[in-house]
Structure 1
């Protein structure tokens, strides 16, 4: 892999990672509800899911999913159902008259770090399209005349760093949102907007084809 090829990959991935999607919306929403520091656990879950998806794609699992549409559909339906469930949960979430003094809790006061991490992981792993995308995308930047393993390591590390940057950016942005939506009416509106977007992501996932 040449330096030019890596730069092309890095710029492409940076732009793709910054596009609003379930992971970024989850980072922003968690930051609003539980504060930036605790939302890092949710971001860690998203990053773990991304890492696993990239590794298994590099190992050829994405090709298996493409060859077995039924298996892909099972994963796709499960992921869509989870996103829709999150949307309904956010829509119906209760709000409080005033935020907690710690900066936490607009709607999810009792979540442990483990629960936050698990939620981020489930969000990140719920999109099987990532497996197919990586399986088709990575080979475009691999030099077939050089060992592939070191190249995959570089590409995966680049992808992870880009995703981490954008998750933190959205998380920091969530703190600005939290300061704006101080009243219960605005909190309820925020919950319903994010809930609608999550349900929309789930609906789009159902419409996509392998």
Structure 2
């Protein structure tokens, strides 16, 4: 891939990564709960899932999933159910004071990173829209006069970098919002607001189609 082409498509990939969606909502919520850097570490989970989906798309299996009503539906409804579960769980979670939560995180940091990363992974791997991006959009960014595989790798690595950047931006905004809210009532409304976002994301995914 030429340097000029990479410079041209990189802003598009970053804008794509920054678009609102389930994983970015998750990064925002993780930023509220455990800080921006913890949320960025958790984004390893989504990028592992995206790497798998990119490999699936490169092997041609992504096209099969996109074109198959059955398999597209299976992936989609798994994602819908999981997002709905996260939304209800977040809505019902008890508000915890920020200083209390930071103290708690010091003792369970390792397990917390794993759980948040696993959540990011499951949300990303069960989103058929990601397969659509890698199957339908990425090939349009390739220069077909050059070898395809190295270009696909460069685009994939750039997209993963963009996803880490997006996770950081959303996590910082979430952490900022959390620090501005001190009362228990405010924290409770914050949990319900984020829970509603996840439920809304599940509704959007449920209404999605292969087109």
TM over 0.5: yes
In the alignment, is the contact (CA less than 8 A) between 1:58 and 1:138 conserved in 2? no
5+ residue gaps, structure 2: none
SS in 1 for 2:91: helix
Q: Structure 1 or 2: larger helix share?
A: 2
TM-score (norm 1): 0.90
Aligned residue pairs, count = 207
TM-score (norm 2): 0.89
1:25 aligns with 2:25: yes
SS in 2 for 1:209: coil
5+ residue gaps, structure 1: none
Q: How does 1:110-149 map to 2 (within 5 A)?
A: 112-149=112-149
Q: How does 1:89-100 map to 2 (within 5 A)?
A: 89-96=89-96, 98-100=97-99
Deviations 1:19-43 (A, max 9, x none): 1211111111011112234333322
Greater shift after overlay, 58-67 or 190-199? 58-67
Query: Could you tell me how far apart the structure 1 residues matched to 2:92 and 2:143 are?
Result: 50
1:199 aligns with 2:189: no
Cα shift at 1:140? 1.0
In the alignment, is the contact (CA less than 8 A) between 1:43 and 1:167 conserved in 2? yes
Query: Could you tell me how far apart the structure 2 residues matched to 1:188 and 1:179 are?
Result: 14
Aligned position for 2:102: 103
Query: Could you tell me how far apart the structure 2 residues matched to 1:180 and 1:163 are?
Result: 26
Residues 181/126 of structure 1: CA separation in 2 closer, same or farther (3 Å cut): farther
Query: Could you tell me how far apart the structure 2 residues matched to 1:15 and 1:67 are?
Result: 26
SS in 2 for 1:131: helix
